[in-house]
Amino acid sequence: MKKLFLLPIAGLVVSCTMTGDIVPTGPDSYMISTVACPACGGTTKSTTMAYKEAGEFCMSQGKRLLKSSMTNDRWFNEAGETVLEFRCLDEDHPAFIRADERRDSDIIIEHR
């Protein structure tokens, strides 16, 4: 009887997280979506899973991960969802080397 009771619980734990396929969105650009239930860590776990999968994907190509954008969301049941858009680039790629890719200008304005 105990074994029959533990089977549904084991099924819930195994199905607690889900990672979608990595989808190409452009040249060297990709997107991945992950979901984790609250008991497995919610948004924190889904973010970790997305970065891990994306990093392994880029490393398999001999490249490095560069995040383009990321959104986190919580569902009504507190499950966490992460959508990570990223690029796989060589270490010597100018976008990877640059510390702040989003800065529009090299001019810094100081307010005194």
Per-residue confidence (pLDDT) for residue 108, from 0 to 100 = 65
Q: What string of pLDDT tens digits covers the 112 residues of the chain?
A: 445 444 444 444 446 888 889 999 998 899 999 999 888 888 889 999 999 999 999 999 999 999 999 999 887 777 889 999 999 999 888 888 875 555 555 666 677 6
**Calculated CA dihedral for residues 15, 20, 86, 47, nearest 10 degrees:** -20
Question: What pLDDT is stored for residue 35 in this prediction?
Answer: 92
Q: Which residue, among 110, 72, 66, 70, has the nearest Cα to 92 in the 3D structure?
A: 66
The fold of the 17-97 domain, in CATH, is Alpha-Beta Plaits (3.30.70)
This model's pTM is above 0.75: no
* Total residue count of the chain as it appears in this document: 112
Dist CA 50 CA 55 (whole Å)? 8
Sorted by where each begins, the domain ranges of the chain are 17-97
Handedness of CA 31, 36, 41, 43 (dihedral sign): positive
